């Protein structure tokens, strides 16, 4: 970076405004890199329109929905609804980051570009779900209304560093959730669609991860504390949707997203890439945050191992039952 402002000795000197200004050059660089590698795509090209037909309502020839009409698996159906309802809250997400990052300069350009790219995800997923009859359309709309009527307020809206740290992990978590949903869906069309969405989410993760790296160079102590806080208190953005806890438990058992995946495929890759646990020359608060982060990750790995054992035992029981019924 060619930022000429001096390294401020006191963590308290780094206000959000100063950090936004100091990181603007990095945002512009990452935005230009993103625009070079990101490929535009057409949501309508991923939807099997010829499979569609009318639902009951204004059309006399409408067919009532039945889950047997779709090839999507039960766990695929559950995860698709969670993933789509999460994407549906895009207006609230845009409001949150536009308020925090601003609408001007490189920050503003990124905010609007990110929103436009994310908008495709909800469009293509809803079109696919309705056309393929993978979900009950009435229930889906009821869930959407209930979820969006609750609104969304980020856990990290108090701090731009916490927000940058959160999205660095959350974008990867979303990518993993979409990709695993595709694998578990039982429908190659769905798998291709979610793979395309996952590619976008990965590019978004890279943008924020690189921004987080620059923040570590500018304000290592504050950034370490932000990462510690975000990792320890991490929640997916869809946590407030109707029936989320039950759906999350089913997705965990179905190996779409669980503790092991969260530890191995989301948290560890970002922490390892940034060499977070190897950062030296930290002040007392930074060192404390780094140590607490390490302890938390060790504890999470232990909890994930317990989950792995329970999941393996469950699979063994189901296999035994299946064998006995033959």
> Model confidence over 240-296: pLDDT tens digits?
888 889 999 999 999 999 999 999 999 999 999 999 999 998 999 999 999 999 999
pLDDT score of 10: 52
> Does the structure show a pLDDT above 60 at 145?
yes
pLDDT score of 139: 93
Tokens 């001096």 belong to: 6
The pTM (predicted TM-score) of the whole model is 0.91
Per-position b or e across 165-192, b if 16+ CB within 10 A of its CB = bbbbbbbbbbbbbbbbbbebbbbebbbe
> Does the structure show a pLDDT above 50 at 232?
yes
Q: Decide if 12 contacts 90 (C-beta within 8 A).
A: no
> Does the structure show a pLDDT above 80 at 326?
no
The reply to whether 60 sits in an annotated binding site is no
pLDDT score of 167: 95
Rounded Cα distance, 318 and 313, in Å: 9
Q: What counts of helices (H) and strands (E) characterise the chain?
A: 12, 0
Rounded Cα distance, 224 and 207, in Å: 18
> Does the structure show a pLDDT above 90 at 13?
no
pLDDT tens for 159-213 read 899 999 999 999 999 999 999 999 999 999 999 999 999 999 999 999 999 999 9
The reply to whether 96 sits in an annotated binding site is no
How would you class 41 by CB atoms within 10 Å of its CB: exposed for 0-12, middle for 13-18, buried for 19 or more?
middle
Q: CA-based angle 174:190:36, to the nearest 5?
A: 55
> pLDDT-derived band of residue 229, with 50, 70 and 90 as boundaries?
very high
pLDDT tens for 77-92 read 999 999 999 999 898 8
Q: Mean pLDDT over residues 112-117, rounded?
A: 96
pLDDT score of 12: 61
Q: CA-based angle 44:50:56, to the nearest 5?
A: 100
What is the average pLDDT score of the chain? 91
Q: Mean pLDDT over residues 4-16, rounded?
A: 57
Q: Decide if 238 contacts 244 (C-beta within 8 A).
A: yes
pLDDT score of 319: 82
The reply to whether 204 sits in an annotated binding site is yes
Domain ranges, ordered by start, for the chain: 16-47+72-315
Q: Decide if 160 contacts 97 (C-beta within 8 A).
A: no
Rounded Cα distance, 118 and 266, in Å: 20
pLDDT tens for 22-33 read 999 999 999 999
Residue 135's SS3 state is: coil
The reply to whether 292 sits in an annotated binding site is no
pLDDT score of 322: 78
The reply to whether 171 sits in an annotated binding site is yes
pLDDT score of 9: 43
CATH number belonging to domain 16-47+72-315: 1.10.620.20
> Does the structure show a pLDDT above 90 at 320?
no
pLDDT score of 11: 59
Q: Mean pLDDT over residues 95-123, rounded?
A: 93
The reply to whether 121 sits in an annotated binding site is yes
């Amino acid at each position: 970076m060619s930022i000429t402002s001096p390294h401020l000795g006191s963590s308290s000197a780094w206000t959000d405004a100063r950090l936004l200004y100091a990181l603007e050059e990095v945002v512009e660089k990452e935005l230009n890199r993103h625009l070079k590698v990101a490929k535009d795509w057409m949501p309508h090209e991923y939807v099997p329109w010829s499979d569609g037909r009318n639902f009951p309502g204004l059309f006399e020839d409408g067919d009532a929905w039945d889950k047997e009409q779709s090839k999507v698996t039960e766990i695929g159906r559950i995860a698709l609804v969670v993933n789509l309802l999460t994407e549906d809250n895009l207006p609230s997400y845009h409001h949150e980051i536009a308020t925090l990052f601003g609408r001007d300069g490189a920050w503003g350009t990124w905010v609007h570009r990110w929103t436009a790219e994310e908008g495709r995800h909800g469009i293509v997923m809803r079109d696919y779900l309705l056309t393929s009859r993978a979900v009950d359309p009435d229930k889906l709309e009821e869930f959407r209304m209930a979820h969006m009527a609750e609104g969304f307020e980020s856990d990290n809206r108090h701090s731009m560093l916490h927000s940058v740290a959160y999205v660095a992990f959350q974008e990867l978590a979303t990518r993993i959730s979409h990709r695993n949903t595709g694998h578990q869906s039982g429908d190659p069309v769905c798998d291709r669609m979610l793979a395309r969405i996952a590619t976008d989410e990965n590019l978004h993760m890279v943008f924020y991860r690189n921004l987080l790296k620059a923040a570590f160079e500018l304000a290592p102590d504050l950034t370490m504390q932000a990462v510690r806080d975000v990792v320890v208190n991490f929640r997916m953005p869809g946590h407030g949707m109707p029936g989320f806890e039950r759906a999350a438990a089913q997705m965990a058992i179905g190996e779409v997203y669980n503790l092991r995946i969260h530890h191995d495929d989301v948290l560890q890759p970002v922490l390892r890439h940034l060499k977070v646990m190897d950062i030296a020359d930290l002040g007392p608060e930074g060192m404390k945050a780094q140590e607490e982060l390490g302890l938390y990750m060790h504890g999470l790995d232990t909890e994930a191992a317990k989950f792995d054992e329970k999941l393996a035992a469950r699979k063994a029981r189901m296999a035994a039952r299946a064998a006995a019924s033959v």
